[in-house]
Amino acid sequence: MALRMSTLFLRTLREDPADAELPGHKLLVRAGYIRRVAPGIYTWLPLGMKVLGKVEDIVREEMNQIGSQEVKFPALLPREPYEATGRWTEYGDNLFRLQDRKETDLLLGPTHEEMFCLAVKDMYSSYKDLPLSLYQIQNKYRDEARPRAGILRGREFIMKDAYSFDIDQAGLQKAYDGFREAYVRIFNRLGFEYVIVHADSGAMGGSASEEFLAVNENGEDTFVRDEHGYAANVEAVTVPQAAEIDASSTPTAQVHDTPDTPTIATLVDALNANHARTDGRSWDGADTLKNVLVMLAHPDGTREPLAIGLPGDREVDAKRLEVQVAPAEVEPFEEKDFAAYPMLAKGYIGPGVLGEEKSSKIRYLLDPSIAVGSAWVTGADEHGKHVLHLVHGRDFTADGTIQAGEIRQGDISPDGKGTLKLARGIEMGHIFQLGTKYAEALGLKVLDENGKLVTVTMGSYGVGVTRAVGVIAEDNNDEYGLVWPREIAPADVHVVVASKDAAVYVRTDEIVRQLEAQGLAVLYDDRPKVSPGVKFKDAELIGVPTILVIGKGLADGKVEIKDRRSGERREVAVDAVVTSVV
């Protein structure tokens, strides 16, 4: 059924809303897609629902395509599961907490790892049940410090969140790859320019993690990319400074004068304050350096790690950092390592390999593509030169996060091969290999082939559905209004009757029926008392890709088709209208 403007719940505005800064946000309100209720809280009006539905359909189709099954969890949730994983407190002020009449604590879900994990625990018990992938398209609640740009950063917003469950890492990797491909298809269909960047896995506690950022100068994320396709969120990358120190030909490199490097004391304090070790020890300078500050890469960009260590218990002065480099024997990280070193799970160094503790000098090895560091060593073969790049220092703040921002345009990319460009983006999707963090905390285990209980390995995968509508609106507008891409538009054709003649309305009703019979969605401006001028303005503002004007020309069997994006108009015979509009 055509949406008839005579009855549509719509009131377009000539003035920009006072609280809006970005063009897409202003236009979504002015054209009657959304309306603000409170900061970061929006109502979706009929036209908005159409667009939202289109985005949801694309996401849903691609999720179903990879065999993920749709479910829907409540948004109102009990405290206990979030308590068990630590997120009741970790989420801080961002979490909406409330109490029921019995003073039982509840929350409004900001994301649902806990609930999906428990549902699978409830229903499944064997490796034979896996792999499994579930998703929902559902409201999320976050008390964002700065709700922004309407639906771009809401306090209530719609997310598609999906979760994968596997028996082992190989299974998780396969699920992750499948989601990654589905995300590429989703974001291609949504039609905005995006980059896939290495991400800081932050509070999610994962290891491998990537973000899909819409390239947008008004975005809140800063990312870097080089000419060879490397891209990363600046939160997740350290970059070698142009200044190089050509070290001696022995396997020891010395770094002098690194004024930007935070002092070891600062780092140690921050670690001890925020990342208590479960083995009861405190962090010391050497740990800090090994775990946080240093990462390594071969000059040819290969990821085979080099070991790095610091001389025993010696006091280390970050301004005169001594680094020993040697090829290492490695073994993969194990679960217990993550448990012993919570900061690993915090994503500060991401997936890496743990070196055999052969001597006090060789301990931790980091995956160079992910690790956060402030020293960067390239060039290491047994006899060759070691070239050590210094990384711009980054302040290790009191809350344990690492500040971004010191990366500069023109820096060398981490593999040493490219030059970095800085750009801004909006996070549209985020995929994580969570590993066993949630399953462990909530006891999700299944029996394996040998009848042994194993902890399930999870991934989590989010898409900002309402945010996607916001980004598409930001990307597709002009001075007259919104200009929707065809696949997202609230209708295929906007039919405008530019006449007061009742006979023209009768004929147009017929044309609208014909269009609909062809499967086209029609927005029909059938308002008898509204002037053609106002109708045209509204049509431009609303932004349906094709505008069909039926007026005076009808007497000569002619109607006009206007392309909203190019502004191009052409007259066509009314009998050919159905074939002409598509």
Q: Identify the CA nearest to 414 among candidates 363, 377, 386.
A: 377
Does 142 bind ligand ATP (CB under 6 A)? Our answer is: yes
Name the binder of 154 from Mg ion, ligand ATP, none, CB < 5-8 A by kind: ligand ATP
Q: How far is the CB of 461 from Mg ion (least distance, A)?
A: 11
Q: Cβ distance 291 to 341 under 8 Å?
A: yes
Out of 54, 467, 535, 564, point to the residue binding ligand ATP (CB under 6 A). Answer: 467
**What amino acid occupies position 15?**
E
CA 391 – CA 237 distance, rounded (Å):
10
Closest distance to ligand ATP from the beta carbon of 152 (Å) = 6
**Minimal distance in Å, beta carbon 427 to Mg ion?**
5
Among 137, 159, 286, 366, binds ligand ATP (CB under 6 A): 159
Stretch that binds ligand ATP, among 149-157, 171-179, 402-410, 441-449 (CB under 6 A): 149-157
Give the CA distances from residue 343 to residues 14, 332, 385, 496, in Å, rounded to whole numbers and listed in that order.
Answer: 52, 17, 32, 61
Check: CB of residue 251 under 8 Å from CB of residue 458.
no
- Name the nearest CA neighbour of 289 among 258, 323, 257: 323
The reply on whether position 153 binds ligand ATP by CB under 6 A is: yes
- Letters for 388-427 (x = contact with ligand ATP by CB under 6 A, - = none) are ---------------------------------------x
Look at residue 343 and give the partner it binds from Mg ion, ligand ATP, none, a contact being a CB closer than 5 to 8 Å depending on partner kind: none
Taking CB under 5 A as the rule, does residue 148 contact Mg ion? no
The only residue of 57, 105, 143, 144 in contact with ligand ATP, by rule CB under 6 A: 144
* 430 near ligand ATP (CB under 6 A): yes
* Residue among 154, 178, 251, 435 that touches ligand ATP (CB under 6 A): 154
- Contact status: 143 vs ligand ATP (CB under 6 A): no
Q: Which residue is nearest to ligand ATP (CB)?
A: 464
Q: Establish if 206 lies at the interface with ligand ATP (CB under 6 A).
A: no
Note whether 467 binds Mg ion by CB under 5 A. no
* Residue 359 CB coordination number (10 Å): 12
Token pair 């921050």 is found at 270
Closest C-alpha to 46, from 58, 34, 57, 28:
34
Provide the minimum distance between the beta carbon of 423 and Mg ion in the complex, in angstroms, as a whole number: 16
Residues 418 to 437 in contact with Mg ion, rule: CB under 5 A:
427, 430
112 scored as a contact of ligand ATP (CB under 6 A): no
Contacts 24+ apart (CB under 8 A), 436-442: 436/335, 437/85, 437/205, 437/206, 437/338, 437/345, 438/85, 438/113, 438/114, 438/117, 438/205, 439/117, 440/335, 441/84, 441/85, 441/86, 442/81, 442/84, 442/85, 442/114, 442/117, 442/118, 442/121
Instruction: Check binding of 275 to Mg ion (CB under 5 A).
Output: no
Of 56 and 427, CB closest to Mg ion: 427
Nearest partner of 163 among 428, 437, 350, judged by Cα? 437
Task: Kindly state the number of chain residues that form the binding site for ligand ATP, as judged by CB under 6 A.
Answer: 15
Considering only residues 445 through 464, tell me which ones interact with ligand ATP, judged by CB under 6 A: 462, 464
Residues 6 or more apart whose Cβ sits within 8 Å of residue 439: 117, 445, 455, 456, 457, 458
CB-side exposure of 282: number of CA atoms within 13 Å? 9
Footprint of ligand ATP (CB under 6 A): 111, 142, 144, 153-154, 157, 159, 427-430, 462, 464, 466-467
Footprint of Mg ion (CB under 5 A): 427, 430
